[in-house]
Amino acid sequence: MKLNDNEQKVLHILKEDPYISQKKLADLLNLSRPAVANLISGLQDKGYILGKPYVLREERYITCIGGANYDRTFKLEDDLILGTSNPVLSQTSFGGVIRNVAENLARLDQNVSLMSIVGNDTLGQELIAKQKKLMEVFATDYLDHETTGSYYSIIDQKGNMTVGFADMSINQHMSRSWILEHKRHIHLSSYIVTDLNVSKDAIESLLEVSKSEKIPLAIVGVSGPKMKHLPEDLDGLDLLICNLDEAQAYFKTKEDDPKILLQKFLEKNISKVVITVGTKGSYYGTKNQINHQNAYMIPDHEVVDVTGAGDAFSSALIYGLVTNHSFDESIKYAAINSSLTIQSNHSVNPKLSINLIKKELKKYENI
């Protein structure tokens, strides 16, 4: 349907700022406010605008749904001694599994929308302001009388976590009703990724949307305890990524053979499953075949911080799949991105690009 000049100008402005007021829009276009209201109403009737915030129909996102929080890391200068004060170097950043995945994907030049919940507090406002530079955030909600999620970790001199503390009570609001409130936005997705910070009934709702709208859905594990949010019925799920501990927690077993656990997941009619096993690499497969990918190891002295390594793995894998790379090649991208991340003191490597991943991969292939 052909649009006139003013309609095209309105869409261009709304693409840049979905929250713009009609008064400001009128000032930018040198039109009256009633004239702008009529233009918006017409565009809604034609299906170009789906509501306010002004979501434009032609946009397609990798919609990343789940936890976004404030991270503080304390790196021990010596071995941890309980019951006394320990000298540390501290660093603050923004994290959360799905937020990390979203930032990785944005740095890999993907069109990303973050759908999360933060407190209507200073940390929440800072977090969202920071994300706006890389991704869309209009589907992220501020909640009054709630505290933005926070995560504190103590890591040793080798970059391995000694202990972590998480205050994620705000995540209980990421329920089925919350998913349904954002249904219009989710329908704009080219691909959906969720972590298990959202509730079980929210995951079930996303599986329903994935089937009905034929939008692929990926689920990323968070921790063993959070595997209780993963439903029993996973029929039609496009991709599941978890580690060995999480797989054991889900099946309530001590079975430590990743291939056996992976096969149990595949029997649930999931298209693709990945189980990571730390320095032993990852096992991945479809109903036809199970494969193993070695981790790309680096010397211990080059490991800075392992925080975010799993999220980096998940995001590079998803990047490969949505850009039509093979499962095998996507897994290699994932392993490389994980390796790059632990060499950085950030949970998402600020130097990340697909060219960097490919360049690093060539080094290992030539060894």
CATH code of the domain containing 11: 1.10.10
Residues 110 and 228 in one domain: yes
Provide the pLDDT for residue 43: 86
CATH number, domain with residue 245: 3.40.1190.20
Is 53 part of any domain? no
* Side-by-side strand order, sheet with 161-167: 88-95, 69-76, 150-155, 161-167
Is 55 part of any domain? no
Q: Please give the torsion angle defined by the CA atoms of residues 256, 259, 265 and 267, in that order, rounded to the nearest 10 degrees.
A: -130
Residues 10 and 98 in one domain: no
Q: How confident is the model at residue 288 (pLDDT cuts 50, 70, 90)?
A: confident
Provide the pLDDT for residue 58: 57
Instruction: Evaluate if residue 2 carries a pLDDT over 80.
Output: no
Residues 28 and 69 in one domain: no
Backbone φ, ψ for residue 322 (5° rounding): -75, -15
* pLDDT, tens digit, 9 for 90 and up, residues 96-123: 999 999 999 999 999 999 999 999 999 9
> Average of pLDDT values for 283-309?
82
Residues 22 and 148 in one domain: no
Residues 302 and 353 in one domain: yes
Provide the pLDDT for residue 57: 57
Question: Strands 189-195, 217-220: parallel, antiparallel or unpaired by DSSP?
Answer: parallel
- Output DSSP code: residue 301: G
The label of the residue with tokens 């000049």 reads 5
Q: How confident is the model at residue 343 (pLDDT cuts 50, 70, 90)?
A: confident
Least confident of 128-137, 153-162, 248-257: 153-162
Provide the pLDDT for residue 15: 83
Q: Are 270 and 118 in contact (CB under 8 A)?
A: no
Residues 85 and 222 in one domain: yes
The residues, ordered by sequence, that sit 6+ positions from 5 with a Cβ below 8 Å of its Cβ are none
Is 187 part of any domain? yes
Q: DSSP letters of 77-120?
A: SS---TTS---EEEEEEEE-HHHHHHHHHHHTT--EEEE-EEES
Is 82 part of any domain? yes
Residues 241 and 332 in one domain: yes
Is 228 part of any domain? yes
Which uninterrupted H or E stretch holds 320?
A: helix 309-322
Cα separations in angstroms, 270 against 182, 190, 198, 263, 284: 25, 19, 20, 10, 12
> Average of pLDDT values for 11-28?
86
**Count of domains for the chain:** 2
Is 52 part of any domain? no
Domain that holds residue 197: 61-365
- 160: its two tokens: 């391995």
> Average of pLDDT values for 202-225?
97
Residues 325 and 234 in one domain: yes
Residues 17 and 82 in one domain: no
Provide the pLDDT for residue 165: 86
Instruction: Evaluate if residue 244 carries a pLDDT over 90.
Output: yes
Residues 153 and 31 in one domain: no
> Average of pLDDT values for 320-338?
97
Residues 197 and 259 in one domain: yes
Rounded Cα gap, residues 37 and 52, in angstroms: 13
pTM of the model: 0.81
